[in-house]
């Protein structure tokens, strides 16, 4: 039997941070997102705050898979979590303010 050496591949947190934020917003918090994605809540917080900013490829895959499944569930149920709606409204307000300031 030959065993291939275990190779850990890490990914920069900046690449998955927007996906983690969307997952947390869709689930309603870190704890719910952690349970949904089978990733530790502290790991999600660490990604969001940029502490030790690299994660294993498997962790990133779990986050992305959980986000995709959550998006499908939201589409099927015709609903989106209130936290995500608030985040989108806040982003729209910021963009509106930026557009108004450009005119000056």
Number of independent structural domains in the chain: 1
Residue 78 to residues 24, 71, 74, 97, Cα–Cα distance (Å): 18, 10, 6, 30
pLDDT at 33: 93
pTM above 0.75, yes or no: no
Question: In the prediction, which pLDDT does 64 show?
Answer: 94
**Residue 23 covered by a domain:** yes
Task: Tell whether 77 is covered by a domain.
Answer: yes
Given this model, what pLDDT does residue 8 score?
A: 67
Domain membership of residue 45 (yes or no) is yes
| Domain contains 63 | yes
83 and 28 Cβ atoms separated by less than 8 Å: yes
Tokens representing residue 29 in the block: 């918090």
Within a domain: residue 3?
Answer: no
| 1, part of any domain | no
pLDDT one digit per residue (tens) for the chain, 104 residues = 555 555 568 888 899 999 999 999 888 889 999 999 999 999 999 999 887 788 889 999 999 999 999 988 888 877 777 767 777 788 888 888 888 887 66
């Amino acid at each position: 039997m030959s065993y291939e050496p275990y190779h850990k591949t890490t990914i920069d947190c900046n690449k998955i941070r927007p996906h983690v934020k969307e997952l947390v917003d869709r689930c309603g918090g870190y704890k719910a997102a952690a349970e949904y994605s089978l990733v530790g809540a502290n790991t999600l917080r660490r990604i969001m705050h940029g502490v030790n900013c690299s994660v294993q490829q498997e962790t990133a895959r779990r986050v992305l898979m959980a986000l995709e499944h959550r998006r499908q569930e939201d589409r099927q149920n015709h609903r989106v979590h209130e936290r995500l709606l608030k985040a989108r409204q806040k982003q729209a307000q910021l963009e509106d303010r930026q557009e108004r300031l450009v005119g000056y």
